[in-house]
Amino acid sequence: MPRAGRRPVRRPLALAALPAALLALLCAAPAPGATAPGAGPPARADLRSDVRADVRTDAGAGVPTRVRAAAPRRGTFDAAPARAALERLLPRHAGQFTLVPDTAAAADGFTVSGTPGAITVRGSTGATLLTGVGWYLQHVAGADIGWPGDSIGMLPAELPGVPAPVTRSALVPHRYALNDTDDGYSGPYRTFEEHQRQIDLLALHGINEVFVQAGAEYPYYRALQGFGYSAEELREWVPGPGHQSWWLLQNLSGFGGPVSERLMRERAELGGRIAEQLRGLGMTPVLPGYFGTVPPEFAARNPGSATVPQGDWAGFDRPDWLDPASAAFGKLAAAYYAEQRAVFGDSTMYRMSPLHEGGQTGSVDVKSAAGTIQDALHAAHPGALWAVLGWQDDPTAELLAGVDTSKLLILDGLSDRYNRLDREARWGGAPYAMGTIYNFGGHTTIGANTSVWIERFGPWLAKSDSALTGIAYLPEATGTNPAAFDLFTDLAWEPGTVDQRQWFADFAARRYGRPDAAAAAAWEELRKGPYSTSSGLWSESQDSLFTARPSLTAAGAAYWSPKSMRYQAGSVRRALDHLLRVDPRLRGTSAYRFDLVDTARQALANHSRVLLPKIKAAYEAKDLTRFRELTAEWRDGERKLDAVTGSDPNFLLGSWLAGARSRGADAAEQDRYEYDARSILSVWGRRSTSEGGFLHDYANREWSGLIMELYARRWDAYFDSLEEALVRQTAPRAIDWHAFEEEWARRTTRHPDRPSGDPYALAAQVASALPAASVN
């Protein structure tokens, strides 16, 4: 969560699809009960079905465990997973590629060559084979597979040849993706197929390390039953999936739950499949590590343990921290990693951020505690890398002093946000990855500090004492700003300095499958505007006032977001006009449709900042006629906004809600998970956190359904109160906004999960309703 100045439709797993042995265990096993402290959890219903693992029996416990076969030598990998991904990505053209595991390739390298219709890609891993395909599409075929939107329908039947073989090697070994919050803000109820698509896209763009959060609650649930907690208590402690990201960060517990054991098992099975998908491509599944989070009363139930209350986080009571010096810490960490291994397998990289956003150290020696946490990790996974988020004051000098920093990677979340940064001096030469968080809460706003990325990456890497060893793609939610995703991941693969202007010109040419003057003009406007914002205070652009809690002085929707425009609004308005003039033959791509809708949405959102001050002036002048005219214009803008976003599948509230309801076994459970999904978008938490912690509307986004059912109704109520005050010459009546928003979050109304309407016609209506922008 950014703090101003300080911090910045999966259906339930079908039982018929499960292996017979697993099905029997799931159906027959009773819910585990409490066990004596340290006694070990109840017998496991093994969720893994790793065909590449050997099964043995631990001589001491008689419990079946899975031991992964030794990793093959580099260069001898099976290219079949990459081939399968290629067939998903390019179903009509996959047969024209030959993918060759290359024993002689650099550790992170690929070579692309070939004649028309016969392209050969050699690579060091399955993922780099796909990165080579991505390079070919971008630089030779002139097509884009973005996140979201693509232009592969514009590819010719026979793919063009490569004029001369091209070899690329990654400039940095670590190419990390996904913020700790991505699961909560991008979709906690996503299907495996949706996660698989995400992995395919990450590999296509050169990522090799991916955070895996789905199912991360299950090892806690299993392990803690051996330390005096019942299954029921733990299900109450674990939050709903929409809020689990912050539980793993030790910020909260319980909210949005309780979760059922069935759901936890399904999510664990999903997470295991995601991890295996990554391994199959030679990518590293980055799993959550254990650093000491425990439920209430741990010390009382485990004599000899010491816990530190972590205080408040945005109005939530944080879970306690088990002092790593306690004897129980090593035992619980070992139990956690054993349970995690049984479901997710082993990895070489684990994510942990102790004391995230203001945790309390109490009397704990942080240096010693950090060493103990790393020792526990290495006891379970010798030599594994600890990935820690660089955020606010973390990691502290005390933490770094206690660990082997050669086995640490700092994921810098502030690389493009502030000026005068010296990461080597700040972190004593510890390895770090240059990161970006250009999206907070899943906001639909366009923009990123792309010029800052380009200005800093090369020089930071070239410093004589540089500790820069990676990039970290860390937006709080993914699936927005496809240009930013493409450009940021390109940094790790393109030799020399990226020319920002040329990069956007090339992007415009491939984004819709053909060069087009109007598309080029549109993207030049977007480049100069929202994609060239500067560092200093922010890494994201402003959000919309249509999504803000009503006030005549509203300056933003999310409390922690920019309160004014970060670029000239005319750039987006002109871009919309240019996009509407793109050659009709290029308008059929999903990339064009998404960009057109997104740009129309952003132009409307920017206009809200022009319109609201006029409404305020009319109200203060007691000009009822003018007030009514302007509020009617505002309401018409909301209707147009809802309609245009409803024409693209990436802007639908219905899909978000349908995914949540699909995970419930009965109506009550479905309603509970829908509340989890709705509340994260609106109230976020209970009244104390929504109001006292300023979390309401943190995850605001302009989605069809959400606009009219929450945001427009909220503004309607407010404008009605102001009009009534003008007519009666009284003060406006007070409105309890939290109660208003909580009532919405408790609803179970249905919304379309398929787009409707013509995006072009609806975007044209938006353009015709907006004032023309001045010409630069």
Provide the residue type at 151 as one letter: S
Strand partners, 468: 432
Q: Give the pLDDT score at 36.
A: 57
Q: Which residues of 725-746 are buried (b: 16+ CB within 10 A; e: fewer)?
A: ebeeeeebeeeebbebbbebbe
pLDDT-based confidence at residue 45 (cuts at 50, 70, 90): low
d(CA 289, CA 333): 9
Q: If you average pLDDT over residues 740-749, what whole number do you get?
A: 98
The answer on pLDDT for 14 being more than 60 is no
Residues 6+ apart with CB under 8 A from 739: none
DSSP string, 471-531: EEE--SS-SS-HHHHHHHHHTTT-SS---HHHHHHHHHHHHTSS--HHHHHHHHHHHHTGG
Contact, 678 vs 699, CB < 8 A? no
Q: How far is CA 388 from CA 90, 400, 520, 551, 570, in A?
A: 36, 10, 40, 39, 40
Q: Give the pLDDT score at 585.
A: 97
Q: How big is the CA angle at 305 (ends 341 and 215), to the nearest 5 degrees?
A: 25
Please tell me whether residue 571 adopts helix, strand or coil conformation.
helix
Contact, 88 vs 198, CB < 8 A? no
Q: If you average pLDDT over residues 322-338, what whole number do you get?
A: 98
The answer on pLDDT for 53 being more than 60 is no
What is the bridge-based pairing of β-strands 64-68 and 109-115?
A: unpaired
Helix (H) or strand (E) holding 572: helix 570-580
Please tell me whether residue 443 adopts helix, strand or coil conformation.
coil
Which tokens is 24 given? 């029997």
Higher per-residue pLDDT: 103 or 130: 130
Higher per-residue pLDDT: 69 or 470: 470
Q: Give the pLDDT score at 41.
A: 76
Q: Give the pLDDT score at 1.
A: 55
Q: If you average pLDDT over residues 735-763, what whole number do you get?
A: 98
Q: What is the pLDDT of residues 410-432, one digit of tens each?
A: 999 999 999 999 999 999 999 99
The answer on pLDDT for 66 being more than 60 is no
Q: What is the pLDDT of residues 433-492, one digit of tens each?
A: 999 999 999 999 999 999 999 999 999 999 999 999 999 999 999 999 999 999 999 999
Q: Give the pLDDT score at 776.
A: 63
The answer on pLDDT for 327 being more than 90 is yes
The answer on pLDDT for 59 being more than 60 is no
d(CA 214, CA 235): 16
Q: How big is the CA angle at 385 (ends 270 and 197), to the nearest 5 degrees?
A: 30
d(CA 49, CA 577): 53
The answer on pLDDT for 708 being more than 90 is yes
Helix (H) or strand (E) holding 350: strand 349-351
pLDDT-based confidence at residue 11 (cuts at 50, 70, 90): very low
Higher per-residue pLDDT: 109 or 17: 109
d(CA 618, CA 625): 9
Nearest CA-CA partner of 87 in 75, 73, 99, 76? 99
pLDDT-based confidence at residue 103 (cuts at 50, 70, 90): confident
SS3 content of the chain, % helix, strand, coil (to 5): 45, 10, 45
Q: What is the pLDDT of residues 362-377, one digit of tens each?
A: 999 999 999 999 999 9
The answer on pLDDT for 761 being more than 70 is yes
With both helix axes pointing from N to C terminus, report the angle between 261-280 and 327-344 in degrees, rounded to the nearest 10. 70
The answer on pLDDT for 48 being more than 70 is no
Contact, 243 vs 319, CB < 8 A? no
With both helix axes pointing from N to C terminus, report the angle between 450-462 and 500-511 in degrees, rounded to the nearest 10. 120
Contact, 128 vs 167, CB < 8 A? no
d(CA 725, CA 618): 13
Residues 6+ apart with CB under 8 A from 202: 177, 210, 283
Q: If you average pLDDT over residues 738-755, what whole number do you get?
A: 98
d(CA 125, CA 105): 9
Q: If you average pLDDT over residues 199-220, what whole number do you get?
A: 98
Q: If you average pLDDT over residues 568-575, what whole number do you get?
A: 98
d(CA 694, CA 589): 40
Q: Give the pLDDT score at 363.
A: 95
Q: Give the pLDDT score at 116.
A: 98
Q: Give the pLDDT score at 24.
A: 34
Q: Give the pLDDT score at 552.
A: 98
Dihedral angle sign, alpha carbons of residues 505, 507, 510, 512? negative
d(CA 17, CA 641): 41
Residue whose pair of structure tokens reads 């197929």 in the numeric block: 193
Q: What is the pLDDT of residues 624-637, one digit of tens each?
A: 999 999 999 999 99
Q: How far is CA 71 from CA 52, 75, 102, 343, in A?
A: 10, 11, 16, 18
Higher per-residue pLDDT: 358 or 92: 92
The answer on pLDDT for 72 being more than 60 is no
Alpha carbon 88 to chain centroid distance? Answer: 22
d(CA 99, CA 90): 14
Q: What is the pLDDT of residues 478-527, one digit of tens each?
A: 999 999 999 999 999 999 999 999 999 999 999 999 999 999 999 999 99
Q: Give the pLDDT score at 25.
A: 33
Q: What is the pLDDT of residues 122-158, one digit of tens each?
A: 999 999 999 999 999 999 999 999 999 999 999 999 9
Residues 6+ apart with CB under 8 A from 220: 234, 238, 293, 336
The answer on pLDDT for 50 being more than 50 is no
d(CA 573, CA 773): 6
Nearest CA-CA partner of 100 in 165, 35, 150? 165
DSSP string, 149-201: -B-GGGS-SSPPPPSS-EEEE-SSSEEEE--TTHHHHH-TT--HHHHHHHHHH
Q: How big is the CA angle at 519 (ends 515 and 521), to the nearest 5 degrees?
A: 115
Which tokens is 301 given? 């139930």
Residues 6+ apart with CB under 8 A from 601: 444, 641, 644, 645, 651, 702
Which tokens is 698 given? 């943190």
The answer on pLDDT for 302 being more than 50 is yes
Q: What is the pLDDT of residues 333-342, one digit of tens each?
A: 999 999 999 9
d(CA 234, CA 225): 8
